[in-house]
Amino acid sequence: MSEDWTPEHYTLTGLRARGWTDRLIEAHLGPPDRVRPNPFSKRKPPMRLWLIARVEAAEAEHGIRPREKSPVRSAAMKASAQRRADAMMAEIDALDIRVPQMSRGALLRRACAHFNERRRDGEPATPSSDPAFLARIQLNYLRHAMTDYDALLDERAGRVGIRMGGHARLFRRVMDAISARYPHLAQACEQQYLWRFGAQE
């Protein structure tokens, strides 16, 4: 995932890197054009996004000049970021990802109950629901309720390595652990990984 999240937007971090202060943003840009959930942690504030075209037009109109980085400093910063990303990857690879063992019947019942407790509308989950849907809620139940995935991600939220592939690597490790313990969910694990991260590896 890029720091700017989409090719059409700057994040708040991206704006500040260009020299925008909070006062300038308030005076010349105002509210963000788009707000999206934070992709690195559900507990972090939403990600605010400003259209690049609008930002650059405001820079031209108000004489706001993007900061220029020297080639030497830029290269040093990239090297430092890569070292931290490599350290994050090694840290994630060393994690002990544990998935509890239970019968398929018990897993299905627990997953349905877990889904129904959080359901706001629609039909409740039952063992006779659509098989693809049941596979998905079993996977979500294992990931969120029966592994340390959320805590492991929250502990690393905002760190350089998470933005440079660490989130995908952690998600992959959890998916692989679930697949190894519950082979009948292997396809759902792969589909969920590809849906979230695409073919990154």
pLDDT mean values, one per 10 residues, the chain (201 residues):
56 84 90 82 80 88 69 68 82 90 96 92 92 95 88 71 76 94 95 81 49
**DSSP tag of 183:** G
1 within domain boundaries: no
In the prediction, which pLDDT does 158 show?
Answer: 63
Question: The whole model's pTM is what?
Answer: 0.58
Taking each helix axis as running N to C, give the angle between helix 186-197 and helix 131-145, from 0 to 180 degrees, rounded to the nearest 10.
Answer: 80
Are 150 and 190 in the same domain? Answer: yes
In the prediction, which pLDDT does 163 show?
Answer: 64
Are 56 and 90 in the same domain? Answer: no
34 within domain boundaries: yes
* Domains in the chain, number: 2
In the prediction, which pLDDT does 4 show?
Answer: 38
**DSSP tag of 6:** S
For residue 1, give both structure tokens. 């995932």
Are 87 and 181 in the same domain? Answer: yes
CB 143 within 8 A of CB 65: no
Q: Can you give the residue range of the structural domain that contains 184?
A: 83-197
In the prediction, which pLDDT does 82 show?
Answer: 78
Are 134 and 36 in the same domain? Answer: no
